[in-house]
Amino acid sequence: MNLSLTGKKAVVTGGGRGLCRSIAQAYLDAGAEVVIVGSSARTEEAAKEMASHHRPAAAVIGDLSEPECIPEIYAECLRILGGRIDILVNGAGSQFRCPAETFPYEQWERILKLNLSAAFRMSQLAGRDMLAQGCGRIINIASMTSFFGSEQIPAYSASKGGIAQLTKALSNEWAKRGVLVNAIAPGYMKTSLTETIKTTNPSQYEQITQRIPAGRWGTGEDLQGISLLLASDAASYITGAVIPVDGGYLGK
């Protein structure tokens, strides 16, 4: 079984922090050349920190929620990688919490643009290059809300439901031509996206923890194995899958 990524070139959006930083790190450790994309200057620092332990990592800073910026962001990633891309992880994401009846429309649009439309556009651009070279891997970051709707995050839930279906739709079109498309659906993970729940709503935090069969929230490290597998030659017959990494949450 070959899990090495030596010689592979990867773009990880959202790779500057949180879950996708762990994924980008796993790819670097497995021998890939990695470019991370993020919206803040912190992304560059993150690339330097990651690179200091292993091989070079590069950063591209840009706003993926602005559709007109995406071709430029992708072109810059490709330039850094010398004109080839083997792996794309669509991980950049955000959420906004508010009851549906007062949910601000501009937040709906922002979240759909970042979580869903940017993943489509990046996949389309990378997909063209991968199809031309006859191989490639696209890994989308889905969520538990790809399987069920969660209260007070209607835009996030809709975007992640969309990510699951986009994964299958692209896989159906591209798998025969060597481009495999899968999604990882993390459960409740400890990151900046979720850290406020513990302080603002301790009883909800406790309820969630009780419901997780593994008895704890997940971490970025918990996603490294599956991310590596899906990007590697060992996963050449896995496509169109939305794979939960949730400590058993969905099974309960």
Ligand X SMILES: NC(=O)c1ccc[n+]([C@@H]2O[C@H](COP(=O)([O-])OP(=O)(O)OC[C@H]3O[C@@H](n4cnc5c(N)ncnc54)[C@H](O)[C@@H]3O)[C@@H](O)[C@H]2O)c1
Which tokens in the block code for residue 71?
Answer: 């071709």
- Least distance in angstroms from the C-beta of 183 to ligand X: 10
Q: Is 193 a binder of ligand X (CB under 6 A)?
A: yes
Residue number with the shortest CB distance to ligand X? Answer: 18
**Edge-to-edge strands, sheet with 179-186:** 57-61, 33-38, 9-13, 87-90, 136-141, 179-186, 242-245
Hey, which residues between 116 and 155 contact ligand X (CB under 6 A)?
A: 141, 143
First and final C-alpha spacing in the chain: 32
Which amino acid is present at 140?
N
Q: Which is nearer to ligand X, 2 or 215 (CB)?
A: 215
- Least distance in angstroms from the C-beta of 181 to ligand X: 16
Out of 34, 64, 81, 89, the only residue in the binding site for ligand X (CB under 6 A) is 64
Residue located via tokens 């549906």: 100
Q: Which is nearer to ligand X, 107 or 194 (CB)?
A: 194
Q: Is 156 a catalytic residue?
A: yes
Cβ atoms of 128 and 170 within 8 Å: the answer is no
- The helix-helix angle for 18-29 and 42-53 (nearest 10°) equals 30
Alpha-carbon span 248 to 119, nearest angstrom: 26
DSSP letter for each residue of 28-88 = HHTT-EEEEEESSTHHHHHHHHHHHHSS-EEEEE--TTSGGGHHHHHHHHHHHTTS--SEE
Out of 28, 33, 39, 174, the only residue in the binding site for ligand X (CB under 6 A) is 39
Which residues are CB-contacts of 238 (< 8 A; sequence separation ≥ 6)?
Answer: 180, 182, 229, 230
Piece in contact with ligand X (CB under 6 A), picked from 12-20, 49-57, 120-128, 237-245:
12-20
Q: Which is nearer to ligand X, 9 or 121 (CB)?
A: 121
Q: Which is the catalytic residue, given 27, 74, 105, 156?
A: 156
Piece in contact with ligand X (CB under 6 A), picked from 57-65, 77-85, 130-138, 231-239:
57-65
Piece in contact with ligand X (CB under 6 A), picked from 76-84, 174-182, 190-198, 230-238:
190-198
- Least distance in angstroms from the C-beta of 135 to ligand X: 25
Q: Is 161 a binder of ligand X (CB under 6 A)?
A: no
- Least distance in angstroms from the C-beta of 239 to ligand X: 20
Out of 5, 12, 19, 242, the only residue in the binding site for ligand X (CB under 6 A) is 19
Dihedral over Cα of 4, 7, 9, 15: its sign: positive
- Strand ranges (DSSP E) for 4-73? 9-13, 33-38, 57-61
Out of 26, 114, 155, 166, the only residue in the binding site for ligand X (CB under 6 A) is 114
Which tokens in the block code for residue 133?
Answer: 């070279």
Which residues form the interface with ligand X (CB under 6 A)? Answer: 14, 16-20, 38-40, 43, 63-65, 91-94, 114, 141, 143, 186, 188-189, 191-194
Catalytic residues: 156
